[in-house]
């Protein structure tokens, strides 16, 4: 592997800020104090954990990192610092086939075995009271209660991360959270601090592409992927190690919303994702994912274009295909949210025999940090005694006492080795069954540095962008423009554009144009030459990987007294056959009397049931009902939003006046007229592509931004 990439000397000038690529950023104005520890010791390097060798493990003697992460882990009580807003559910993991050739992990030893599981999904930046549809990374954590202990796969719905080294995690989260002098914005990165930090941290560029994509505004937690992010090891009974990356693939496929829809969903139902998961499980439509493994050896790792220990990089599925080895099914909601979802403690260091770590510096720091976090958040060292955290297999140890101890060793012995025989002597170590760390050889000097192989910050960001469809690329451009449009410091906006120039010149120019930047800055200096030969990876695109059907989705039908009972029944039958749901929206929650005289209960009053709640809509009023609806302002929003969000729209002939009232031109391929029973099945078939994206391209473009320099705004507060 290439040698270490040493940072440029700072010449003891505290006004210099050294970025992760070794570059020097001059801070503005005045004397700047030297960064120190809480004890006052000056800090020479705040970018890298101390490790043994440039690719070696982190060293426990790194007092600066220990203090920094310790203080960060104890900043909040009792709410999680990150991932505070979560939803959890119980279920099981079912193994497809034995994997004894690659791992001794007991969970993979027997075909068809079901292992109890608990999964928790979360946003990252917002507090417990923040809305579900914030543009944010989603946590995807799974606790598997195996017969040899608890195994936690603690990941996200994105396979890469913002930073390469855990020592920068407090800085990242401080920058992303609400600004400390004003306490806002909540659950949003569209502010100066976040973009200032990432613009000075080139390694974040790849993650920024994902963060500005539709992946961070999923339609449902059921419709998103999960990733273990890091490279781990699987170790078999003979001690042979195989590198692995973990993937969770949703059985219902992937789906996201558009930004305008997300904003309105937060207003209509701030608990939209929670409610969706709860309703699906309660209805027996159990969310399900398949666990996939990317398996590779040392030879591949050495030959790969990027370092497999770099958490800002991924391995394209086209290079290392996903092997699907089991399924996760969530079939039971919690009995008590606080006792389970809030008190569950996930830790990356919770692995089982047959699973082991690598020297990924972000993973090494997480392993060090999580125990501290649980101690502070759950009040003491006995949080594993809580039922949600306790293993379901037999366990025995000599740990005792402490805050809220429910279990202590019985008998005379509370230490080992001891000379008391049999049960009196307590548990004994087992070289045969116990966890054994893979004996990887490590060498190198004590230093703070990163491998030269970590220095390419733009090539995979470019690969991600060119792997998206034209529609998705447009959404990424719009997301950058929105977020940077909230940034008050022009220098920060320009710095972000300079990084985007290394990703895609057209992307940078488009974002600059939307911001009214007439003259593009120079491209940021790249620590390594940007690779332009990396091919698109179709697996990285949501719209290139649509689900096979419309199952698990919901159609909202706007109905009135006199709505055609035959059409409603046909639509419900077609959706039931697809595994989808029909929900009725009416002028009032009291229900309707259909054309055949039957009384039909409805799910939503129109003022509380906007079209953003649904994956597709049907506008099925009677002629008299349409006249009534035309007088209601909420009708226009229901119809106009469904059209603007590119949803498929079924309609009766009487709905025409509502389209006219809303200024919606009827007739594109996203409309399906319902006149006969057979039309319902045709509508459901059209919905299988989820959205009629051609409509988005046909919508009039927003007005062009002025290219005149904008006056500098003063910081508020």
Looking at the predicted structure, is the pLDDT value of residue 467 above 80?
yes
Q: Virtual CA dihedral for 267, 271, 272, 275, nearest 10 degrees? A: -150
- pLDDT at residue 188 in the model: 96
Is position 83 annotated as part of the catalytic site? yes
Q: What are φ and ψ of residue 700, in 5° steps?
A: -60, 140
Residues with Cβ within 8 Å of residue 639, at least 6 apart in sequence: 611, 619, 649, 658, 659, 661, 662, 664
- Please, which pLDDT band fits residue 632 given cuts at 50, 70 and 90? very high
Looking at the predicted structure, is the pLDDT value of residue 166 above 70?
yes
pLDDT tens track for 124-135: 999 999 999 999
Looking at the predicted structure, is the pLDDT value of residue 494 above 80?
yes
Looking at the predicted structure, is the pLDDT value of residue 415 above 50?
yes
Query: How many Cβ atoms are within 10 Å of 698's Cβ, its own excluded?
Result: 10
- pLDDT at residue 409 in the model: 79
Residues with Cβ within 8 Å of residue 547, at least 6 apart in sequence: 223, 252, 253, 254, 255, 688, 690
Looking at the predicted structure, is the pLDDT value of residue 22 above 60?
no
- pLDDT at residue 77 in the model: 53
What percent of the chain lies above the pLDDT cut of 90? 79
- pLDDT at residue 76 in the model: 65
- pLDDT at residue 700 in the model: 66
- pLDDT at residue 716 in the model: 36
84 by Cβ neighbours in 10 Å (0-12 / 13-18 / 19+) ranks as: buried
- pLDDT at residue 704 in the model: 55
Looking at the predicted structure, is the pLDDT value of residue 23 above 60?
no
Instruction: Write out the H or E segment, with its range, that includes residue 142.
Output: strand 138-146
Residue 220's nearest CA partner among 247, 189, 251, 245 is 251
- pLDDT at residue 114 in the model: 98
661 by Cβ neighbours in 10 Å (0-12 / 13-18 / 19+) ranks as: middle
pLDDT tens track for 106-123: 999 999 999 999 999 999
Looking at the predicted structure, is the pLDDT value of residue 430 above 50?
yes
Higher-pLDDT residue of 618 and 3 is: 618
Instruction: Write out the H or E segment, with its range, that includes residue 683.
Output: helix 677-687
Residue 566's nearest CA partner among 491, 413, 669, 676 is 676
Residue 515's nearest CA partner among 202, 203, 190, 205 is 190
- pLDDT at residue 712 in the model: 38
Mean of pLDDT over the chain: 91
User: Whole-angstrom Cα distance, residue 443 to residue 693?
Assistant: 54
Helix (H, G, I), strand (E, B) or coil at 688: coil
Q: Are 173 and 82 in contact (CB under 8 A)?
A: yes
Domains along the sequence of the chain with CATH: 70-385 (2.40.180.10), 453-540 (1.20.1370.20), 554-698 (3.40.50.880)
What percent of the chain lies above the pLDDT cut of 70? 93
User: Whole-angstrom Cα distance, residue 7 to residue 644?
Assistant: 50
Is position 389 annotated as part of the catalytic site? no
User: Whole-angstrom Cα distance, residue 352 to residue 328?
Assistant: 18
- pLDDT at residue 175 in the model: 98
The DSSP symbol for 542 reads: S
Q: Virtual CA dihedral for 88, 163, 324, 329, nearest 10 degrees? A: 0
User: Whole-angstrom Cα distance, residue 374 to residue 314?
Assistant: 29
Of 48, 150, 156, 502, catalytic: 156
pLDDT tens track for 76-117: 657 898 999 999 999 999 999 999 999 999 999 999 999 999
- pLDDT at residue 627 in the model: 97
Q: Computed over its alpha carbons, how large is the radius of gyration of the chain?
A: 28
Looking at the predicted structure, is the pLDDT value of residue 67 above 90?
no
- pLDDT at residue 103 in the model: 98
- pLDDT at residue 425 in the model: 87
Of 48, 64, 83, 191, catalytic: 83
pTM (predicted TM-score): 0.90
- pLDDT at residue 162 in the model: 98
Looking at the predicted structure, is the pLDDT value of residue 8 above 50?
no
- pLDDT at residue 25 in the model: 42
- Please, which pLDDT band fits residue 181 given cuts at 50, 70 and 90? very high
């Amino acid at each position: 592997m290439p040698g270490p990439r040493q940072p440029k000397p700072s010449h003891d000038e505290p006004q210099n800020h050294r970025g992760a690529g070794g570059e020097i950023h001059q801070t503005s104005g005045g004397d700047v104090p030297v960064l120190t520890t809480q004890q006052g010791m000056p800090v020479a390097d705040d970018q890298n954990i101390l490790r043994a060798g440039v690719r070696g493990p982190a060293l426990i003697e790194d007092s600066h990192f220990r203090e920094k992460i310790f203080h960060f882990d104890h900043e909040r009580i009792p709410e999680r610092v990150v991932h505070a807003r979560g939803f959890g559910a119980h279920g099981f993991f079912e193994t497809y086939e034995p994997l004894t050739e690659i791992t001794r992990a007991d969970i993979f030893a027997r075909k068809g075995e079901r292992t109890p599981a608990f999964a928790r999904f979360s946003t990252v930046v917002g507090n417990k009271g923040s809305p579900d549809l914030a543009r944010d990374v989603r946590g995807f954590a799974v606790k598997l209660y195996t017969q040899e202990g608890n195994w936690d796969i603690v990941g996200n719905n994105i396979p890469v991360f913002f930073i390469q080294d855990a020592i920068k995690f407090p800085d990242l989260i401080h920058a992303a959270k609400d600004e400390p002098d004003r306490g806002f914005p909540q659950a949003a990165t569209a502010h100066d601090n976040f973009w200032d930090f990432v613009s000075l941290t080139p390694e974040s560029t790849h993650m920024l592409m994902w963060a500005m994509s539709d992946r961070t505004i999923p339609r449902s937690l059921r419709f998103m992927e999960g990733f273990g992010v890091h490279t781990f090891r699987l170790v078999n009974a003979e001690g042979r190690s195989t590198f692995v990356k973990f993937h969770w693939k949703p059985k219902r496929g992937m789906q996201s919303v558009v930004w305008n829809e997300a904003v309105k969903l937060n207003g209509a139902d701030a608990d939209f994702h929670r409610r969706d998961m709860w309703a699906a499980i309660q209805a027996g439509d159990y969310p399900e994912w398949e666990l996939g493994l990317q398996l590779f050896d040392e030879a591949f790792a050495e030959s790969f274009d990027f370092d497999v220990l770099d958490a800002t990089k991924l391995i394209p599925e086209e290079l290392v295909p996903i092997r699907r080895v089991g399924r996760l099914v969530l079939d039971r909601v919690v009995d008590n949210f606080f006792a389970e979802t809030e008190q569950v403690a996930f830790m990356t260091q919770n692995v089982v025999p047959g699973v082991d770590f690598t020297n990924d510096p972000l993973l090494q720091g997480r392993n060090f940090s999580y125990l501290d976090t649980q101690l502070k958040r759950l009040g003491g060292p006995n949080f594993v005694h809580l039922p949600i955290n306790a293993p379901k297999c037999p366990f025995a140890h000599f740990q005792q006492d402490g805050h809220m101890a429910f279990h202590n060793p019985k008998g005379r012995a509370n230490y080992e080795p001891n000379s008391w025989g049999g049960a009196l002597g307590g548990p004994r170590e087992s070289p045969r069954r116990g966890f054994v760390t893979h004996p990887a050889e490590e060498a190198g000097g004590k230093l703070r540095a990163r491998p030269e192989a970590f220095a390419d910050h733009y090539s995979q960001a470019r690969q991600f962008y060119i792997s998206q469809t034209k529609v998705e690329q447009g959404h990424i451009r719009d997301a950058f423009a929105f977020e940077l449009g909230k940034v008050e410091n022009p220098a920060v906006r320009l710095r972000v554009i300079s990084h985007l120039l290394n990703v895609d010149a057209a992307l940078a120019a488009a974002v600059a144009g939307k911001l009214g930047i007439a003259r593009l800055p120079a491209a940021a200096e790249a620590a390594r030459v940007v690779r332009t030969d990396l091919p698109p990876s179709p697996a990285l695109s949501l719209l290139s990987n649509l689900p096979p059907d419309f199952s698990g989705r919901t159609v909202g039908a706007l109905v009135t007294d006199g709505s055609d009972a035959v059409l409603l029944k046909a639509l419900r039958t077609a959706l039931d056959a697809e595994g989808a749901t029909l929900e009725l929206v009416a002028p009032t929650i009291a229900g309707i009397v259909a054309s055949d005289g039957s009384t039909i209960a409805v799910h939503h009053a129109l003022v509380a049931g906007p079209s953003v709640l649904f994956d597709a809509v049907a506008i099925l009023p009677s002629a008299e009902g349409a006249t009534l609806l035309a007088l209601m302002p909420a009708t226009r929003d229901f119809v106009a939003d469904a059209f603007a969000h590119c949803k498929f729209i079924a309609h009766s002939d009487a709905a025409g006046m509502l389209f006219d009232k809303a200024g919606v031109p009827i007739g594109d391929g996203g409309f399906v007229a319902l006149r006969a029973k057979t039309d319902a099945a045709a509508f459901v078939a059209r919905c299988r592509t989820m959205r009629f994206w051609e409509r988005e391209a046909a919508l009039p473009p927003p007005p062009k931004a002025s290219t005149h320099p904008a006056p500098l705004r003063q910081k508020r507060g």
